[in-house]
Structure 1
Amino acid sequence: MVDILMPRLSDTMEEGVVSAWRKQVGDEVKAGDVLVEIETDKAVMEHEAYEDGVLAQIVVPDGGIAPIGAPIARLQTAGEPPAPARAETPAAAESPAPPSGPSILESARNQPDNSPSNGAVGPRSTGAGGRVLSSPLARRDARELGIDLTTIEGTGPGGRIIRADVARARDTSSAQQTAPATPAAAAPATSAAAALKETDELIPLTSIRKTIARRLTESMQTSPHFYVTKTVDAGPLSTLRAELNERLVAAGKAKVSVNDIIVRAAAVVLHDHPVVNSSFTDEGIVQHGRINIGIAVATETGLVVPVVRDADAKSLTRISAETRELAGKARDRKLGLDEMSGGTFTVSNLGMYGIDHFTAVINPPEAAILAVGAVRSEPGVRDGEVAVVQRMTMTLSSDHRVVDGAQAAEFVRDLAAVLEDPWLAVA
């Protein structure tokens, strides 16, 4: 009997929710079949079988929660005698546990963590002829990404390489190089139930909300933030967008947004300011060779940051198309791990909500994030005369361990110059 364990499907995942079982007890399973949909701290992702067999038991039912490495089901492999019938245990993954015994959460937390988070990687296993053991989906991803499977350490059963291993190999981001700082001592826990009034409602934390709370708290505690703000003349940007969209619509293509132009402009300027496209590690400052821009997207369950890779090498219309696709996936919780990792700089835009100015919390391990407000009309001076002008305010939050004040100011100054002459970003 083989235990199916709760997988690690993102670098920030600590526990997962079983969203839906795609196989039921008694179903035949082939290696590579999708067994279950797992809700992580960022998305709903499919988890595949690594061996042939029959699904003998579901330990954690739909909606159940389990930490990484805890068994969620059991698979009877070929040649094994039939196991005695065992009832599913839907209460096992609920929290708090019933008085009769510990929950699966408590049991797993008392066992050694065999997931990649503790730095221990299972031995690479080889099959007949020295072939590296890997799942079918992992092999497909490796082929598409041009990754040599022999360079990857597998974390699946018996050292088998799984999709998450391939995704981690694709993005050697400093998120995996930087050990998380020891969190400050937590304040004594208080009982939420004791503070609730009859008119109050206690809303359970989702996986995304827990991760937002943890990561952004760590960011504010460990990264010394400082802020540089500049208001730019947004008239040329608005004019360029109007001209482009008129031509795009005439050609039957989708329009571009103000944020698309900002992302493209930021990517162009980051070329000349590599220190802003960096991360802090205990070993030193990592200046990233690629410019991968994260775009903050608000969803019903919380903030997620899909990544536009190599934004400096893509046209404005390509960035626009990718942004729309990624935002749609984010709202449907269908983003893949490779679409949410590897960011080197983030843009957060609240202009569509009519917000003029705000400051954003750095998305670790990145060294900076750009907060962008709305394009607004206000009185100003143009050619020596009072006129109605368009303005837009942007604020760069920087990690002072990486970026000095003058370096942040130079980046914001140059970005403003490109936004005020936006053809420089399109050319």
Structure 2
Amino acid sequence: MPIEVILPKVDMDMAAGTISRWLVKDGDRVKKGATIFEIETDKSTMEVEAPGDGTIGRISAEVGAVVPVGVAVAFIFGEGEDVGAIRLPTEAPTAKTQDAPKPQPVAIMPATNGDSSKPRATPLARRIARAHGLELAALAGSGPRGRIRAEDVQQHLSTPAPEAKAPPAADSDLIPIDTMRRTIAERLVFSKTTVPHFYLGAACDVERLLKLRQEINAVEGLPKLSVNDFVVKALALALRQVPEANASWSDAGIQRHRSVDVSVAVAVEGGLFTPVVRAVEAKPLGQIAAEIKTLADRAKARKLLPSDYAGGTTTVSNLGMYGVESFAAIINPPQATILAVGAATRQPVVAGDEIRIGTRMECTLSCDHRVVDGAVGAQLLAAFRSLIEQPLRLLV
């Protein structure tokens, strides 16, 4: 019996994936475990292995095709098996299949109190449409009684949209929305419309931190540290001091986390990834720096694994390297906090009755008020500020 090669589910939120590359073609011999194609999701590019030995045939998804999870994209045939025996959903039935008993029609009762305006569609068609933000009402169904099938949705997605004509005075380009951008949009809209944000700010004195970092980086053989490495460590230790804030919201209750897993925002072309550094409170700065670099490199190469970005109990978003001095970030649900970090700038500082030039770094903590009350958020930011301003405490 031919073995189905299906598009696997590599992420909890994944409904479909894009075929980015085939490494085989119809007629090629493959061994179980060999990579045969690659798929691209909103977060990574994943390799898919052959589920058995045999000859590849009936490849039905071209490069660039968006395929729902669980759909067969090819088959692996054993010795002597008939390639033509497999009929794809888009193919007309053969004479043999036409002689098969036809399924009895199902009686459809007229709607009474339900919403009769809701378009009729198969569950798979609804899932594909939802994954692409597509309104089913805009489609014409080819199934019985105009029911919208998966093929109708896929045909609509593969049909180029008509060029949008800009007004005579306007000059603009229409950029298609890819899977990553759509996912970011959906998550941020969900966060801002369902999570009650409040914001706390502090200007941290980073003179000692910058001097300590310079001394460490000047020593041959020691790992090179960034300001962000210190920030990630300081936030983790602050959450250990204020464990009430190291929590997540759920319908079942508030979940307190025993370790601090910090998501680190990494900008990539066309979007943003937030890979996670695990148990940051227990790791030295050098190890944290190495893990952040590895995760950032994977993110930029679109090679993150689901385990690299799943979970996280808080997030650090640092735009200081872009010259941004202050900003407020949107919480990444179900996390309850995110720390926005600005650039370290030289500025006048009042010390007692004197004014001197110092270096300050603006930090803004966004909190989910369902989980973190104002006083708890203030304690967390104060603990973070104390650690940043006394950076030797981050080394012991």
Same fold (TM over 0.5): yes
Q: Determine the structure 2 residue equivalent to 1:266.
A: 235
- The answer on 1:289 being equivalent to 2:258 is yes
- The answer on 1:399 being equivalent to 2:371 is no
Q: Residue 12 of structure 1 contacts residue 41 of structure 1 at CA under 8 Å; is this kept in 2?
A: no
Match of 2:214 among 235, 242, 248: 242
Q: Residue 34 of structure 1 contacts residue 47 of structure 1 at CA under 8 Å; is this kept in 2?
A: yes
State the shift of 1:19 in Å: 0.8
Q: Determine the structure 2 residue equivalent to 1:229.
A: 201
Q: Determine the structure 2 residue equivalent to 1:421.
A: 390
Deviations 1:264-323 (CA, angstroms, capped at 9, x unpaired) = 111111112222221111110111122111100000031001111111111101111111
Residue identity (%) = 41
Question: Structure 2: how far apart are the matches of 1:203 and 1:112?
Answer: 24
Question: Structure 2: how far apart are the matches of 1:108 and 1:33?
Answer: 32
Q: Residue 265 of structure 1 contacts residue 415 of structure 1 at CA under 8 Å; is this kept in 2?
A: yes
Question: Which deviates more from structure 2 when the two are superposed, residues 323-332 or residues 53-62?
Answer: 53-62
Q: Determine the structure 1 residue equivalent to 2:304.
A: 335
State the shift of 1:370 in Å: 0.6
Unmatched 5+ residue regions in structure 1?
90-105, 114-190
Aligned CA-pair RMSD: 2.5
- SS at 1:83 equivalent: helix
Q: Determine the structure 2 residue equivalent to 1:199.
A: 171
Match of 2:267 among 273, 298, 316: 298
Q: Residue 56 of structure 1 contacts residue 83 of structure 1 at CA under 8 Å; is this kept in 2?
A: no
Q: Residue 33 of structure 1 contacts residue 48 of structure 1 at CA under 8 Å; is this kept in 2?
A: yes
Q: Determine the structure 1 residue equivalent to 2:125.
A: 110
- The answer on 1:220 being equivalent to 2:192 is yes
Question: Structure 2: how far apart are the matches of 1:323 and 1:284?
Answer: 31
Q: Determine the structure 1 residue equivalent to 2:43.
A: 42
- The answer on 1:357 being equivalent to 2:358 is no
Q: Determine the structure 1 residue equivalent to 2:52.
A: 51
State the shift of 1:111 in Å: 8.1
State the shift of 1:257 in Å: 0.3
State the shift of 1:385 in Å: 2.2
Q: Determine the structure 1 residue equivalent to 2:25.
A: 24
Unmatched 5+ residue regions in structure 2?
91-120, 129-160
Q: Determine the structure 2 residue equivalent to 1:366.
A: 335
Q: How many residues align?
A: 331
Q: Determine the structure 2 residue equivalent to 1:94.
A: none
Residue type of the partner of 1:202? L
- SS at 1:271 equivalent: helix
Residue type of the partner of 1:258? V
Q: Residue 51 of structure 1 contacts residue 77 of structure 1 at CA under 8 Å; is this kept in 2?
A: no
Q: Residue 69 of structure 1 contacts residue 108 of structure 1 at CA under 8 Å; is this kept in 2?
A: no
Q: Residue 241 of structure 2 contacts residue 383 of structure 2 at CA under 8 Å; is this kept in 1?
A: no
Question: Structure 2: how far apart are the matches of 1:340 and 1:382?
Answer: 43
Residue type of the partner of 1:36? F
State the shift of 1:195 in Å: 6.0
Q: How does 1:111-260 map to 2 (within 5 A)?
A: 194=164, 196-197=166-167, 199-247=171-219, 250-251=220-221, 253-260=222-229
Deviations 1:317-351 (CA, angstroms, capped at 9, x unpaired) = 11111111111111111111111112111100000
Match of 1:375 among 344, 347, 356: 344
Deviations 1:345-388 (CA, angstroms, capped at 9, x unpaired) = 11000000011111111111111111000000001124642211
Q: 1:46 to 1:419 in 2, by over 3 A?
A: same
State the shift of 1:245 in Å: 1.1
State the shift of 1:196 in Å: 3.4
Q: 1:111 to 1:80 in 2, by over 3 A?
A: farther
Residue type of the partner of 1:385? E
Q: 1:341 to 1:78 in 2, by over 3 A?
A: farther
Question: Structure 1: how far apart are the matches of 2:251 and 2:80?
Answer: 50
Question: Structure 2: how far apart are the matches of 1:308 and 1:192?
Answer: 44
- SS at 1:200 equivalent: coil
State the shift of 1:10 in Å: 1.4
- SS at 1:373 equivalent: strand
Q: Determine the structure 2 residue equivalent to 1:326.
A: 295
State the shift of 1:22 in Å: 1.8
Q: 1:377 to 1:192 in 2, by over 3 A?
A: farther
